[in-house]
Structure 1
Amino acid sequence: MSEKNPQLNLGTEPVKNLIYKLGVPIMIGMVFTALDNIGDALFVSGLGVSQLSAILICAPLGQAIVALGLLFGNGAGAYIPRLLGSKDMDRANKVASTALYGSLLLGMIAAVLISINLEAILRALGGSNENISFAITYARVYVPSLLLNIFIVTMNSLSSSEGRAKLVMVVNILTAILNFILNPLCIYTFKMGIVGAAYATVIAQGLATLVLLFNIMLKKSVFNFKISNISFNKEILSPVFKIGVSTLIFQLLTSMATWFTNRQAARFGEPTIAALGTTMRIFSIGTLLVYGFSKGFQAIAGFNFGAKKIDRVRESVHLAIKNTTIFCFAFSVACAVFTKNIISIFADNNQEVITIGIQAILIQSFSFVFFGFYTIYSPLLLSVGKVKEGFILGLCRQGTCLIPMLFILPNMFGRTGIVIAQPVADILSVLITFIFVRITSNFLKETENKIQADGDSCNYPLSKND
């Protein structure tokens, strides 16, 4: 693939080997990212339900700001493998540099605006008189630290796009382990309380950022992250934003869904917020693992599409769906069997939290079995340039399917309606995916026919979608 990255050749090495070499390290890294996400909740829960609900209502802030990193990072991450496959390094360098610096600039602007209007925003996100002071204390440190998170997210996407899955894994593992060590120290040993959780995150992500900076300075990447490479012309930004905007909207809808879930749950008290927020974080372990695997898959599919090797694209799809489905089944069974044990870790002996949490985990365990099948097709469509289709499918689970359910079902079934909203949205998303399976199959066949008819010189659909 590159002299700087000789260990992987995305165009010639057996696809089965590549799926595991790229997918598994990123999955392992995502395990630790998921643990990192629930680490704050785990340790803060010992302070009380008000403190736990306080950090849960701050979660949409993180999702919204990090979405800016995903706007550039995921857009560039899906586009760059095609450029590498077609050996266009000049444009790949421009895309990577523009993505990194652009995401940091937007993140800085967003963090300042949120900090100026912090209390009003937190109250809009579900803050109550009981938890608002805790939420403000936590967010004053947490929001500025999200710039570090944006840098990590963007760099991880760019590293994945060049096949450097092990670097992504190391960064995510380092961040999570440090956070798990520092959380109890800051919260309890140093008696910092809820703000200690925020400082633990800052330190952990700061050290992970240093690792990525050293990687750039030592020129381990195939990219040259030079300011002179930044380009805001249409040829660079258009393909990045076509993909990135869909990711941004998806992340904002996820943030909105989390906010609206908290708002609906607030009608039934803080134990409901705590139980549902904890359930979301538990299943974030599974979703992040699948997303991590799909990152490795996307690099393989995009590179081979750019290199006009459609048979390898199909093989990667088959293997990705098979492996993610097996994982989702195993994860769902584990959650269903150990439901009470899992929720009790976070409930601090609050029986109402345990009861609601058990119901939520059991129901979501059923629908999560199909998550891998749904998740593979959106990055596939984006990686082959079918941006509109990938955008529509990507919005289903947390947007067009979930948000209406959060409006409708609680009014029909009360608190149970909030509990079943995500599983119902999952099932609807899977049914919609079958439509896109057919679209993808026809597109790949059409592309393959054009390649065979016109040879290497053909201008097949990749160029039209760019």
Structure 2
Amino acid sequence: MVVQIIMNNSLTHYGAASVYGEAIPLACAGIVIKVNQIFFSIVIGLSQGSQPVESFNYGAKNYDRVRKAFGLAATSGVIISIVSFVLFQIFPRQILGLFGTGEPEYFEFGVRFFRIFLFFIWLDALQPITSTFFTSIGKPAKGIFLSLTRQIIFFIPLLLILPHFMGIEGCIYCGPIADFLAAVVTIIMAFLEFKNMPKTNGE
């Protein structure tokens, strides 16, 4: 909710100072974020579905199955994210058209928002799946930290800083930068965890 409020205020404020006005950036961002949530909900389902498998096998010290469960969930999530990335890059105008017609500026901004804001969407699946993984193996603090990286730790500060220098463009570019940074942190934490995990079952 806090993220959405800050995002809406930034889009309205900096949109008013751009050629798009207040309404277009706010409307386009709302559409893009809602459409993305449809695909992201599938990834959340994957992460929740992998949780009992990872938790049970970690408790039973079947570490190879833990690795397989995580790998399957992560791979499936990335594939879904890549599909959504391709759709958003190739058909942004058509998707916007499903929600109504508008001025040329509406489609111009909407297409840019789709393609830039969601540019690293193909990495987004790693965060919830890895966050759930840490919770599954009894390390909720790491899971909570990861769940906060994209929206709270990276996105909000970027949203407060970039538009001061870039205007409405800053509102667009804070998305992919936050996604990339969150993915880097996620990959590092997952790598270190599996590196320290026993190689042999039963240890």
Query: How does the TM-score come out when normalised to structure 2?
Result: 0.89
Show CA shifts across 1:174-213 (max 9, x none). Answer: xxxxxxxxxxxxxxxxxxxxxxxxxxxxxxxxxxxxxxxx
Among 34, 44, 49, the alignment partner of 1:296 is 49
SS of alignment partner, residue 349 of structure 1: coil
Report what 2:136 is aligned to.
383
Show CA shifts across 1:18-54 (max 9, x none). Answer: xxxxxxxxxxxxxxxxxxxxxxxxxxxxxxxxxxxxx
Does 1:256 find its partner at 2:9? no
SS of alignment partner, residue 395 of structure 1: helix
Taking only aligned residues, the RMSD between alpha carbons, in angstroms, comes to 1.7
The aligned amino acid for 1:378 is: S
The aligned amino acid for 2:11 is: A
Query: How many pairs align?
Result: 196
In structure 1, distance between residues paired with 2:157 and 2:146: 16
Query: How does the TM-score come out when normalised to structure 1?
Result: 0.40
SS of alignment partner, residue 138 of structure 2: coil
Shift in Å, 1:425: 0.4
SS of alignment partner, residue 102 of structure 2: coil
In structure 1, distance between residues paired with 2:106 and 2:60: 52
Show CA shifts across 1:308-363 (max 9, x none). Answer: 32221111011111111122111111111111011122243243332211101011
Alignment of 1:49-448 (within 5 A): 255-267=1-13, 268=15, 269-445=22-198
Shift in Å, 1:286: 1.8
Q: Verify the 8 A CA contact 1:266 1:273 in the aligned structure 2.
A: yes
In structure 1, distance between residues paired with 2:46 and 2:174: 26
Report what 2:19 is aligned to.
none
In structure 2, distance between residues paired with 1:361 and 1:270: 17
Q: Verify the 8 A CA contact 1:276 1:419 in the aligned structure 2.
A: no
Identity of matched residues, %: 28
In structure 2, distance between residues paired with 1:256 and 1:422: 16
Q: Verify the 8 A CA contact 2:150 2:178 in the aligned structure 1.
A: yes
In structure 1, distance between residues paired with 2:36 and 2:117: 8
Q: Verify the 8 A CA contact 1:333 1:365 in the aligned structure 2.
A: no
In structure 1, distance between residues paired with 2:118 and 2:8: 21
Gaps of 5+ in 1: 1-254, 453-466
Show CA shifts across 1:350-392 (max 9, x none). Answer: 4333221110101134210111233321100011111111111
The aligned amino acid for 1:404 is: P
Gaps of 5+ in 2: 16-21
The aligned amino acid for 1:399 is: I
Report what 1:115 is aligned to.
none
Q: Verify the 8 A CA contact 2:29 2:113 in the aligned structure 1.
A: yes
SS of alignment partner, residue 165 of structure 2: helix
Show CA shifts across 1:385-423 (max 9, x none). Answer: 111111111111111010011011111111111011111
